Each structure stands twice: as structure tokens, then as C-alpha cells.
Structure 1
Amino acid sequence: MKQKRYNQEFKQTIVELYRSGTSVSDLSREYGVSEVTIYKWIKAHSPIENGGGLTPAERFMISNPLKNRFFFSF
């Protein structure tokens, strides 16, 4: 089975919908994305403790500036 790729805007939209109160199961059903994937996106787009308010995705982009241009895909 071919793996689907989602752009950052779509992922951020799903995370924002979750934060506004939509359940993960509802988002999964409506958009056809697995619950596990949505939980990973939520984690990736949430600030980490003692991380200066940066998300794991932002920390990766800062610490790997060349990689994120060609490789970055959460």
C-alpha cells in the first residue's frame, strides 16, 4: 500500500481543529487519517518542556537547516 503524504498546512489544520475541541476519532473519520498519525502530529506541533516554546518540528528545522529543505516531512 502506498504511503500518503500530507503537507504542513493540512497537518497544522488538523492540529488546530483538535485544539478547538474536535475529537481525534472525529478528525480521523472525517479526513481519512489514522488516529495514531493525528496524535503524532499533535505531539510534533506542541511546544516541549524546557524547549523555549519550540515544537519538536521547529527544533529539528533549526538544528538541521540543510536537511529540512530536502527531507523534512512530519
Structure 2
Amino acid sequence: QGEHFECQKCGYELNADYNAAKNIGVRYARKRQHKLRSSPKSESGDAPVDVRVTGGTLNGESYQPIAGD
């Protein structure tokens, strides 16, 4: 079933590849948002960024969302 990630603080576990993909997505969204806010072409300095990183786990076959995510 592949590697898994486990938080050493709270014990939260999920597929390591899925966890890495979520982390990369969040970093990209933050960098993109920062770039848009600091752009000299943006009049207000607060350009909206529509990004949602959904939660869930992978089972090798398909994406299974976690209830409440």
C-alpha cells in the first residue's frame, strides 16, 4: 500500500504521496497569493486566489474524501 505519513504530535496518518501533494499544493497557493499581492500591476494589492486543497486519502484505486472535508 505504499508509504504512510504519521504526525508525531497528534498521530494523524495518511498516504505519504497524498500528503506530499497537499503540501506542495498549499505552498504553491501561498506563493501565488503572495506574488499576486505584491504585484505592482495589482491596484488594491489583494487579488483573490481561488484554491481549495481538499482532504482525503488514497487507497490505490481512487480518491476517498474524509467525512467533513
Q: What TM-score do the two structures reach when normalised by structure 2?
A: 0.31
Relative to total residues, which structure has the larger strand share, 1 or 2? 2
Structure showing greater Rg: 2
Relative to total residues, which structure has the larger helix share, 1 or 2? 1
Q: What TM-score do the two structures reach when normalised by structure 1?
A: 0.29
